[in-house]
Structure 1
């Protein structure tokens, strides 16, 4: 008999009802939601978010006492900016991790007297300093603060001062949008343009809510998807762009946008219409050999600066080919 062990007050359910996940998508930087606060001397707010954009306001709250707190993304990193009663503005960037990778990230922000705790993906950053505040009446989530870029992406599991915010039941005046499709509820509408990776030759794909672009810096290629070779196909191609050159060390890419990697070679131009390619190897200096008296007892591997497949490609394109060995 449960009444014999303890008394009951109010309605009690002998089960654990977990809130249903109801995500919200902020499709533009002008959309946001308003959540009421309780005006207490502490703050406990948490949510999950995912985005491809580097910048965006996650949360803004003006205290009923003097001061405010701002949580936002800047160049992909999370930043907290706050001011308490009779204290200067403080801005912290406690984590090096970039969070605009399109994955879900959890954020917990706790403000107490002389203590600020910001946790990202269950890793806390604790700041201890002189700080007092009293929360205000309204939390702006996703944007709504003048001069700040709004957040574009998805949120879920939004808790404000310990209360779960069911975005489905928010009054219309609390959901701020210019057009109806500025906010989507009960869905996370994000298009991943980088999977599969459209960038060729190992280019790094980056994206925002509008488009993607390829970082081709370390690939040896150019263009929208790292398809155009950065290096000339041959010494003749190099000569076209450098007509006065007589000799140059050039990185050649003999198959253009194909799978072969570029390699270093020396280009010689003995006449205006003639070019020569010298592919160097690692044994061009003299090597003294001792102790090998029998014929064929000494073997020296010649390792060229270009793999065999690229050498074959060069030979097939050339009018003539010669190899010089001196011993």
Structure 2
């Protein structure tokens, strides 16, 4: 029997990833949708032909789904999670987990009290290109240098709630940067030192305060170190993680993975250009397996306290003007 799922928040992420992923799932079925914008809701209901609601509480009480996919603005996530937890409805939440480390701790407690599973949605973890990185890293000797980059250009980097720190919790670090941070923590764990510099001045007349560009330097006790560039102003669009080791390097770009020798010659490479939709479906199916007790939740509140600590250390280091150990923030 398929799990009954609802989608709350019908923005870009839900329409591009979560809804197609859910419609392709063999373990879950879409039973309702919710969005605060009645025009968007009406348009989606025409094509999806499921009950539609403007309030999450009404959806939960009327439809009583097994789980919901939450893809709402950052500041609205907590209230929806509380509504779900109070009713015992499980949650697959679009990143970030929380807008601050304090909120992350509170949400972890809320989920535990409601006995609900919460999994943070990170499609890259269900894309074979990204899972293969672990095997490639084993073949480059001792890694010692990381060069990460995730950039694109948008004409208004502070548009809407994303430009307001109070609503978003931060800018490119906590938003788009969450994906790259997750890869770092997945492959290497939580670093022992982090320092960040960032600005919200790419479009000075716009008046937003959430950073549009950031550079993060990080290091590990193992002598692995490196930097990450994040920007929603800097073109061209780039998504890259380059890890250099004593016997070669690994270069990860979107949909493409290479292992290089010391001279930069490609030794082996993988490509998977059509992964996003299937990765979303794989993620939803995996969450259903978690609910069935067949798989462990490897992207739950406990794991994402580390992400929140990493992000908090970035903002704290900027204020303090020195390296911060994110482990000390946990």
Answer yes or no: same fold by TM over 0.5: no
| Greater helix proportion | 2
- Provide the TM-score with structure 1 as the length reference: 0.20
- Provide the TM-score with structure 2 as the length reference: 0.20
